[in-house]
Amino acid sequence: MDNMKLPKEKVGDFLAKLGKEKFRVPQQMEGSSKFAPLNGESNADFTLSNTTVPPKSIFYPQTETLYRYNVGETAMEAPGEVDEMIIMGIRPCDARALSTVDKLFTWDPVDPYYKSRRDKATMVGLACQEPRTNCFCTSVGGGPASTEGLDILMTDLGDSYLFQVLTEKGEKICQEAGDILVKSDDSDVQAAEKLHNDAAQKIVRGIDSQDIPEKLPQLWESEIWKKVSDPCLGCGACTFLCPTCHCFDIQDEVEGLEGRRCRVWDSCMFKEYTLHTSGHNPRPSRRERTRNRINHKYSYFVDKFGVIACVGCGRCINLCPVNIDILNILSQVKEAL
């Protein structure tokens, strides 16, 4: 399908045409930003760079009811089908994060909760034009205009968004909104490509990740793990807000006689995460937990699924209260290798 353009003044019409209830868009909330359903007119903010809370929360919400039951009974009721969604304005790194996490959630057996939402979602990405200081997507296989995991790539051309249609799902949306979109020509694509290249040039941080996955486990006893984890507070900011971190806990929660078994985000940086009931903890301190976090992203996940479980969004660096900086850790790793 040909590329199309959405004039900025028609964004409202576009949302209305496709059905506002379907959209999940980046929004500025009280003190942070996240993807949320549209409400009222249009509270989408396509100028935000990465949202504080990554869009994984749409597909893998922090709290998910697996099934409900009444205490004392044996019937279990799983939540119903999910509706179609259009995720508009997702940044390429966050879309890549979802394709990365797909590999785990569709690893046998398939996770039905995650998968059904993924199947029902059309991903309309927005190319980055102003990467932030700690963005390093280009070091881990991505880029400001990466199309991986997207159905449409949008590029802000000033007074309109160029829609580069990538999949059938994307095509379907463009057809449905055909009377709102306008045709684009080669000059638009050239302009977009220039913007994409310019954005890639603006990325200032990075790491050569070439040898890291194979060699990282060799540094198991290295002193760097103690050094980099000394200031660690053991909080979950880096993992909860990481777009590829996917670990969870399962808990039964009961109110009166109504119970549910639910899963909730969990963090490998919490001491309870690996704590055995006996009191033994195979990862007794923040040193072991930090080592596991980095190894999991840059080595174990690669062993299992062939990709680094880090998309270079920079959130863990931006949000760490004590400046634990994954690029700094990785460069120490490179030095030690």
Partner 1 sequence: MADLEKLITVAKETVSRDDVKYLIGWRQGTYGFRVSPHFITEPEEADKLIFSPLCSNNLATYLTLVEKLPVPRGQEADTRKIALMVKGCDSRAVVQQLVEQGIKRESVIILGCPCQGVVDLAKVEEKFPAGLEQVAARWDDGKIVFQFSDGEKAVPREEVLADKCLRCRYPNPVLADTLLWEEVEAGSSSDEYADVSELEAKTPEERWSFWEAQFSSCVRCYSCRNVCPMCYCEDCILDRLNPTWVNRSNNISENTAFHLSRAFHLAGRCIECGECERVCPVNIPIMTLNRKLTKEVREKFAYEPGTDPASKPLQASYRPNDQENFIL
Partner 2 sequence: MKENPYQPYIATIEDTWFETVGDRAVKTFKVTLDDEEARKNWSHRPGQCAMVGRLGIGESMFCISCSPTEGDFLRFSVMRAGKNTQGLHEQEVGDKITVRGPYGNSFPLEDWKGKHILTIGGGIGQAPLRPIVEYVKANLDQYAGLTMIYGARTSGDLCFKNEFEEMAKRDDIAAHLTIDIEEEGWDYNVGFVPSMLMDVGPSPDNTIAITCGPPIMIKFVLENLKKLNFADEQIFTTLENRMKCGFGKCGRCNVGNMYVCKDGPVFSYAILKNIPEASA
Shorter beta-carbon distance to partner 1: residue 70 or 285 = 285
Q: d(Cα 141, Cα 148) in Å, to the nearest integer?
A: 10
Restricting to residues 40-69, name those near partner 1 by CB under 8 A. 52-53, 62-63
Shorter beta-carbon distance to partner 2: residue 187 or 277 = 277
For the bound state, the minimum distance from the C-beta of residue 157 to partner 1, rounded and expressed in Å, comes to 24
Shorter beta-carbon distance to partner 2: residue 91 or 293 = 293
DSSP assigned state of 83: P
Q: Which stretch binds partner 1 (CB under 8 A): 18-26, 91-99, 209-217, 315-323?
A: 315-323
- Residue 31 CB neighbours (<10 A): 6
For residues 274 and 301, the answer to whether their CB atoms sit within 8 Å is: no
For the bound state, the minimum distance from the C-beta of residue 61 to partner 1, rounded and expressed in Å, comes to 8
Q: d(Cα 288, Cα 226) in Å, to the nearest integer?
A: 8
Considering only residues 19, 178, 217, 234, which one is a binding residue for partner 1 as defined by CB under 8 A? 234
Q: Which stretch binds partner 1 (CB under 8 A): 92-100, 188-196, 293-301, 318-326?
A: 318-326
Q: d(Cα 186, Cα 169) in Å, to the nearest integer?
A: 23
For the bound state, the minimum distance from the C-beta of residue 85 to partner 1, rounded and expressed in Å, comes to 20
Q: d(Cα 98, Cα 103) in Å, to the nearest integer?
A: 9
Q: How far is CA 226 from CA 229, 284, 297, 300, in A?
A: 5, 13, 18, 20
Q: d(Cα 20, Cα 13) in Å, to the nearest integer?
A: 10
**233 part of the interface to partner 1, by CB under 8 A:** yes
**270 part of the interface to partner 1, by CB under 8 A:** yes
Q: d(Cα 166, Cα 14) in Å, to the nearest integer?
A: 19
**205 part of the interface to partner 1, by CB under 8 A:** yes
**Residues contributing to the site for partner 1 (CB under 8 A):** 29-32, 34, 52-53, 62-63, 133-134, 204-205, 227, 230-231, 233-237, 240-241, 249, 251, 253, 262, 264-267, 270, 272, 284-286, 317, 319, 321-325, 327-328
